[in-house]
Amino acid sequence: MKNVDDLIESAAELATRGLSKGEIADELNVSRETASWLVERSDATTQPNDQPTQETTAAARSGPQDIHVDWSAIGRDSKRMGSIAEAMADLLAKHGEDVDLTIGIEKAGGPIATLIARELETDLGTYTPAKHQWEEGDIEDLGGTFSRNFAGIRDRECYVVDDTITSGTTMRETIDAIRTEGGEPLACVVLADKQGLEEVEGVPVYSLLQVISVGKEE
């Protein structure tokens, strides 16, 4: 994607396909607030066959402060994905050989976790966070789920894998959910971390990239 107008157009397309605002946030690697703003902006400015206008672009500049991470050049190619997963697995390897479970946060964290689990020779589990159900209001009223099609968690140490940390909310939710199930997360790894976090809920966080916004706050 080249600019904010492209993000607005993508948000509109995803909303038309029936995705929740939380799922749109996941697809575009932005915060829930940014996803909501993008969808609202698309409703306000986009007409069929219209091209982005100067008003649209000006309005886009006044949007929420966020950073979009586009890693589709990696995601579209299995060889590149395998190489990235090998690097991410290497960040986790120092925690020892006793860990036998890797948890991927759906959607994008699932494929990455699959490759990391293969690299580390662990079982695989997946977690669907509450944000996938989120449209408006308090996300605390919603709950995430572990898939029964994959490995169970109880009494097992595990790694947690996602593509991007935006605010840290999803990672925190996943760690809490794992502990509720009786598991113990030892480390988390992501492709890109927008917050520069060293730990979440006492669990160390590793990333291949830390994306830091440098600017003067209004």
Closest residue by Cα to residue 113 from 138, 154, 147: 147
pLDDT at site 142:
66
Q: Do domains 4-61 and 72-210 have the same CATH topology?
A: no
CATH class of 4-61: mainly alpha
pLDDT reported for residue 131: 75
Of residues 142, 141, 118, the one with CA closest to residue 132: 142
Fold classified for 72-210: Rossmann fold (3.40.50)
pLDDT of residue 101: 97
Give the pLDDT score at 93.
87
Give 10-residue mean pLDDT values along the chain (218 residues). 75 83 77 78 54 44 72 94 97 85 94 96 94 63 86 94 92 96 96 93 95 64
Q: What residue segments make up the domains of the chain, in order of their start? A: 4-61, 72-210
Which pLDDT score, from 0 to 100, does residue 51 have?
A: 47
What's the confidence (pLDDT) of residue 135? 59
Q: Is the peptide bond before 107 cis (omega within 30 degrees of 0)?
A: yes
Radius of gyration of the chain (CA): 18
Given this model, what pLDDT does residue 58 score?
Answer: 43
Which pLDDT does position 148 carry in this prediction? 93
